[in-house]
Structure 1
């Protein structure tokens, strides 16, 4: 076999340009920033762990600078970039960004080097159809990932879609990445890819992807890619068994050590705590012994539990480390799956989330449990091999969410949708039980006092607007005093000389939301209802609500009203848009008129007021959470 030429980058020629866009997956991973990059390359390292070896996978992440001329074959890539022609605003903008970056004399880079891993096999075979030659799959095949012969190992792996390799290209200003490999025999090779668009170069059209590889003639005038032996700059070296990813022209927004450390802790805290993974970021070591040092450091994470509304890693680590798991059985309608749920109830938590974790130790998503996103809990869910295999089929391409939309088979999609709904329903039961356990009541509680707390104080702004019920140390129900605006009691004399007083105000005017000037809307007045005028009881699958306006001068003469409601949590925080009436109630019946009420824009319309009283019967959906507390709003 003889070398065709001395080019270091190979692009496949095509007769004409047909596709004028960059690969859309580039933009998807670019939107994920550092998190997407570290997830993919850390997951690849864990997937490549040595068999029959209990030592942890070690991943070293380094950032630094390198002279442009020391980047292998970079001049050829720059020539290609200069030949690109954009045919829409997005490609023109991207090409212009690339051109602005190619004249740097020194460029930033990031590298991911793994140890106690197998590396890629079969590099000497070059392009190959053999499933055992993982070099060929990784280096030359897009949308494909190698599969393990051992079913159990394949099931536990993080990858499945074969698109994660492009995450490294997305982190480069010019979409270029390299990978250095050392196999079991000590063979060292260097490969790479660059993601451009279809382009014309020296009067020949080419495909969008370029490969850092040699090309040689084989039989019958055919050509074949073969990797270069690794004799390049030391930054591109890999002398121990395993793989090393090198990304030059690192985007500025990725070049953040703190965010790299956070993303490792966020996605792989279980792997690290179980001793399966050690990550070293620019010399900073993250292990099962040191993970808590980073999680408890305000430089990386918010430490006030009540303020944790975006990132929940400190809560997950505490929940997983301290709580005994509950067993959770979830069905997809055909098969049953058994999970461990590490669950923590804490009134200080403002946003309830569940970390869905694969057995490899990688978090898939921060799951919002239906109708429970604002409940004070935190949880970590982990299954076994069977559960892992099923979760793997539900992951989206970037491994960040369970989904059924991507499943093409309608029967499998239906089962997947059922599983996701059942998972949410089963976790809801545990949340509801925890709320009941942590909010006990003695004796019978009057249902009109629907807002209650246990030895905690509602926020002042709620206390200014609503009444509530508290439980004192003697466990008896006592009314709290509130600062609800009341009419002053005016003393007047009757004909027999006795004094009478006016009634207490039981509704409070709510300032309406502004209406756009171009929208004509009949003016209405909205009031919030004091719990004293509301009686609520749940009987089987029905909820009965009675509103008594007889002591409310503002509503006593009204015949119809609209009713809306908002969820309120144990800390007195109101969540206006978290409750969907149509999804929680099958029907809303007006008991005074006997008719079914229309629900429009999350508002129960035209409820009858008869003799100062309104009554509703609400037929509950199967997933309705009976532990919810509400504030009711009356609109006339």
Structure 2
């Protein structure tokens, strides 16, 4: 057994380049930004807790700078990036960005170091296929996660899909991350990964993934990876038992201490309150004793309950601490799952949400209850071991939503869909019960809550025709999607007939429209044009930028399409459309596809080739100085 030529980074050789794109999971985690990065690495720390110990896991998150020359093997990575060749606009722009960033003398980094944890085992065994060697699984296998032998411990773990490790690569301008490990015997090793594209280097083609590792020949035709002993710069040190993630060339948008602290509180407030976790962000300690100070500080969160429309952590914390839990049972059609529900009814709450929590203490999602998103309640839902196992099976890959779409078995998918629907139905019943309790129907009636409910129902009905548009002042304006037709006076006979008509079906996310040539425009017969329901459009204006997000997930016509064209028309307060009075170039200087980062072309007021990723399209438009921020639009989508 002998060492090959001393290289710090290893890429597997291939006969030819067949794949010219970056790993798509990189883009998914890049879109999750700080919250996705913090969530994955904090969850990994909790998963590695010392079994049988009562001590909380302590995660230390640090941001700082490191000299480029102190980053292990960085010159090899720079050489590889220098020879990358993009074969489409997205990879060309991504490679150009990497090449611009790689020559800095000093770069930002973030590290996640855990304590009271086991660390990875079996590093000395290198590239092993043993379940006990967690170093090999973490270091060299993509899409795989270590499974605990103790079924109860495995059930409580946060990870299950094996894709979260790449969240750290997505946070680096060079898609680069390292991990330092100290095991139970005090052995210290350093590994790392980089995600490039398939490339040719010194006349040999290589795979896209690189590993910071030693390589040894174990027979004439076989080699094996072994980790390096950790004798590198102190930023990369890990001298106490556990794991440390280090991400150099940290993207600028990730280097935000306030958002890091908020992400910890948002996803892990239950872990912290239950004393399973403590997090130190630079010099700020978030513990059972201090977390309430962070969530009740206006430096981090809005404190006016009536303004809590997007972030709910302060409400969740007070609901969990101040309310007694009630037992509820939710069925998937085969068995019942029992949960503790911490429920709070408060007239001041503008948006009702339920925090779905795993037993590890990690929040999966802020669940909207159908028909009750504007009701004045807040709730936290936590189950036991069986419930945890089931919730785990329903999580999407990024652990941010309960879903049944990823389940392949049709029977299990049907049960999952039934469970999610029954969960919403049960909580809706509890909300209705709370409304009735706070609005007695006998004796003197307190009409405040009834008026609140009626008003919110009216607003909800109004939003079927109009949607709220967020502005940079936190206010809202209203835009109507289409001209509102005048109603004809019904005759008595017509009224009677209408009484027997079924209730109107919910509006579709998009509605097909007949193409109409305008001026010299020639319709492309290969595309279909739809008008977007305002409910799927979110619009935010910040300074000289406008961000527009289209959620096509509920639209079977559009959600699976890779790209679309988007156009818009002005509408007035009565919903009358003026299709020929808006000129894009008079209002915007350019438009960027936020999914790809590409600048998009605009022809005849149509924004061309916007990427649709996981059913969502996002635009960033740069405003001209004369832009009228009060304009209201109807949006059209071509696919």
Both proteins in one fold, TM over 0.5: yes
Deviation for aligned residue 1:219: 2.6
**Residue aligning to 2:354:** 354
Q: Is the 8 A contact 1:354 1:381 kept in 2?
A: yes
Out of 501, 511, 524, the position equivalent to 1:596 is: 501
Aligned residues: 490
Deviation for aligned residue 1:283: 1.2
C-alpha distance in 1 between matches for 2:258 and 2:62: 12
Deviation for aligned residue 1:457: 8.1
CA-to-aligned-CA distance 1:435-464 (integer Å, 9 cap, x gap): 00011121699xxxxx9534978999999x
**Residue aligning to 2:466:** none
Matches within 5 A, 1:48-197: 48-197=48-197
CA-to-aligned-CA distance 1:64-89 (integer Å, 9 cap, x gap): 00000000000100110111111111
**Residue aligning to 1:204:** 204
Deviation for aligned residue 1:370: 1.1
SS in 2 for 1:292: helix
Matches within 5 A, 1:301-320: 301-320=301-320
User: Which runs of no fewer than 5 residues in structure 1 stay unpaired?
Assistant: 446-450, 464-510, 517-522, 527-554, 563-589, 604-636
Change (3 A) 1:51 1:429: same
C-alpha distance in 2 between matches for 1:457 and 1:230: 62
**Residue aligning to 1:453:** 448
- Which has the larger Rg? 1
SS in 1 for 2:26: helix
C-alpha distance in 2 between matches for 1:561 and 1:313: 54
**Residue aligning to 1:323:** 323
Deviation for aligned residue 1:109: 0.1
Matches within 5 A, 1:506-545: 513=480, 515=482, 524-525=485-486
Deviation for aligned residue 1:560: 7.9
Q: Is the 8 A contact 2:338 2:383 kept in 1?
A: yes
C-alpha distance in 1 between matches for 2:299 and 2:266: 15
C-alpha distance in 1 between matches for 2:482 and 2:146: 57
Change (3 A) 1:39 1:512: closer
CA-to-aligned-CA distance 1:507-547 (integer Å, 9 cap, x gap): xxxx995757xxxxxx8436xxxxxxxxxxxxxxxxxxxxx
Change (3 A) 1:595 1:438: closer
Q: Is the 8 A contact 2:63 2:108 kept in 1?
A: yes
C-alpha distance in 2 between matches for 1:262 and 1:145: 27
C-alpha distance in 1 between matches for 2:313 and 2:42: 17
**Residue aligning to 1:232:** 232
**Residue aligning to 1:380:** 380
Change (3 A) 1:36 1:594: closer
Deviation for aligned residue 1:597: 5.2
Matches within 5 A, 1:430-445: 430-442=430-442
Q: Is the 8 A contact 1:351 1:374 kept in 2?
A: yes
Q: Is the 8 A contact 1:512 1:525 kept in 2?
A: no
SS in 2 for 1:225: strand
Change (3 A) 1:525 1:127: same
Matches within 5 A, 1:477-492: none
User: Which runs of no fewer than 5 residues in structure 2 stay unpaired?
Assistant: 459-477, 509-639
C-alpha distance in 1 between matches for 2:326 and 2:224: 55
Matches within 5 A, 1:236-385: 236-385=236-385
CA-to-aligned-CA distance 1:444-496 (integer Å, 9 cap, x gap): 99xxxxx9534978999999xxxxxxxxxxxxxxxxxxxxxxxxxxxxxxxxx
C-alpha distance in 1 between matches for 2:426 and 2:501: 31
Deviation for aligned residue 1:594: 6.8
Deviation for aligned residue 1:357: 0.3
Which runs of structure 1 show a deviation greater than 2 angstroms over 4 or more consecutive aligned residues? 451-463, 511-516, 523-526, 557-562, 590-603
Q: Give the TM-score normalised by the residue count of structure 1.
A: 0.74
Change (3 A) 1:45 1:202: same
SS in 2 for 1:418: helix
